[in-house]
Amino acid sequence: MKLRSMNFKVKDVLLSATLVVLMSFSTGCVEKITQVQGSAKNDSLNDVIIESNVDLSGFKIGYCTPALNAPYYQALLSSIQQTTKAAGMTFVYADGQGDINKQIAAAEDLITKGVDALLLNPLDPNALVGVTLVAEQAGIPVFIIDSSIDPSAKYVTTVQSDNHRNGELAGEWLVKKMGSKKMKIALLSGNAGNPVGKTRKQGLLTGITEEQLRTHGYIDLNIKTQAYTNWSYEGGLKAMEDILVAHPDINVVITESDVCVLGAIKAIRKAGKEDDILIVAAADGQKEAVKLIMETDLYGCTAVNSPVLIGKTAVQYAVQYFNDKRDFEKTSFTPAVLITKENAKEFYNPNAIF
């Protein structure tokens, strides 16, 4: 059979070789996890390599996004689209518009259109399970990307950032930065019950407490309040305004995502507390956050959740499936990387979507 190789010019050096670790889930099963190869620096598409023993020109990749109302979702869509088309395949997508019922209908529509692989970013971990069962009956492999889905779903693998480890790195950095200074923490979350947000939060708390035990010999975890932002600028602004009224002594804000806190910064500055508060994010490496890390002391660090790397990895895996690969691990992580003032310039791309 003909070997088709799409080799873009390598701009970034590939990160560490594939690692396999074990992870236990609440269901009691033990699941293998793979760390995917790639570089998140500057969100480049220049290091993707796609190889196929079959002609890809007749294949169609379908992607169902939960929404397109945020730069992250837009960048992820663009990555999948560019990688799919560069490999000679057809790309179609459907938008859930932030509504679970609309996302279910959108995903089912892609299945009806006869896609050869469905890339699915679930708005809800349980509601989309039925869609995966419909896809399985139609002989369409499902790849879960960015978020998570209930283990009862029928899917090939999940491709996402290492949310727990990223959170740990940010939590460890915070303790080292604060030293012996007492922390009075506000936690800004996405929304209640979100599995990715929960994992990031657990990573943050693990990093903080483990580093405190290592360096101080005790745990002092003083979280004064938690507020939900609905993963939005406006939600973060409102949440931070309320927090500063109820807890004016806050000196640390930890968050599950850059987007949760970018709006909060406006409230912090308006209150004149820019020099009194330190922000630490478990993800995502959004360009506005990276710029703040470079230019201020208010934003201490964030961690990489590259939509470009996740998107192109998902397409690569779909192509591998078309070439009869079936031994995928159930979860594939992109590398965990912390962004601080020391390395922020390497990750900043003012022209990036995200």
Query: Are 22 and 107 contained in the same domain?
Result: yes
Query: Are 313 and 178 contained in the same domain?
Result: no
The answer to whether position 90 is within a domain reads: yes
Sign of CA dihedral 207, 212, 214, 215: positive
Query: Are 257 and 310 contained in the same domain?
Result: no
Query: Are 260 and 324 contained in the same domain?
Result: no
The answer to whether position 61 is within a domain reads: yes
Range of the domain at 117: 4-155+306-336
Average pLDDT, the chain: 88
Query: Are 140 and 107 contained in the same domain?
Result: yes
Say what the pLDDT of residue 70 is: 83
The answer to whether position 343 is within a domain reads: no
Query: Are 61 and 183 contained in the same domain?
Result: no
- Separation in Å, CA 87 to CA 241, 242, 277: 47, 49, 47
The answer to whether position 346 is within a domain reads: no
CA-closest candidate to residue 318, choices 83, 65, 111, 37: 83
Say what the pLDDT of residue 212 is: 97
- Separation in Å, CA 14 to CA 83, 155, 166, 338, 346: 17, 27, 19, 17, 15
Say what the pLDDT of residue 267 is: 97
Residue range 132-158, pLDDT digits in tens: 999 999 999 999 999 999 999 999 999
Query: Are 228 and 330 contained in the same domain?
Result: no
The answer to whether position 323 is within a domain reads: yes
Query: Are 17 and 147 contained in the same domain?
Result: yes
**Domain count within the chain:** 2
Query: Are 60 and 129 contained in the same domain?
Result: yes
Say what the pLDDT of residue 231 is: 86
CATH number of the domain that residue 213 is part of: 3.40.50.2300
The answer to whether position 347 is within a domain reads: no
Say what the pLDDT of residue 46 is: 54
Concatenate the DSSP letters of all residues of 299-340 into one string.
EEEEEB--HHHHHHHHHHHHHHHHTT-----SEEEEPP-EE-
Contact 200, 282 (CB under 8 A): yes
Query: Are 129 and 176 contained in the same domain?
Result: no
pTM of the predicted model as reported, rounded to 2 decimal places: 0.81
Q: Which residues of the chain have pLDDT under 50?
A: 1-32, 39, 42
The answer to whether position 350 is within a domain reads: no
Say what the pLDDT of residue 191 is: 86
The answer to whether position 40 is within a domain reads: yes
Query: Are 173 and 288 contained in the same domain?
Result: yes
- Which percentage of the chain shows pLDDT scores above 90? 79
Q: Is residue 253 exposed (0-12), middle (13-18) or buried (19+ Cβ within 10 Å)?
A: buried
Say what the pLDDT of residue 324 is: 96
Query: Are 179 and 151 contained in the same domain?
Result: no
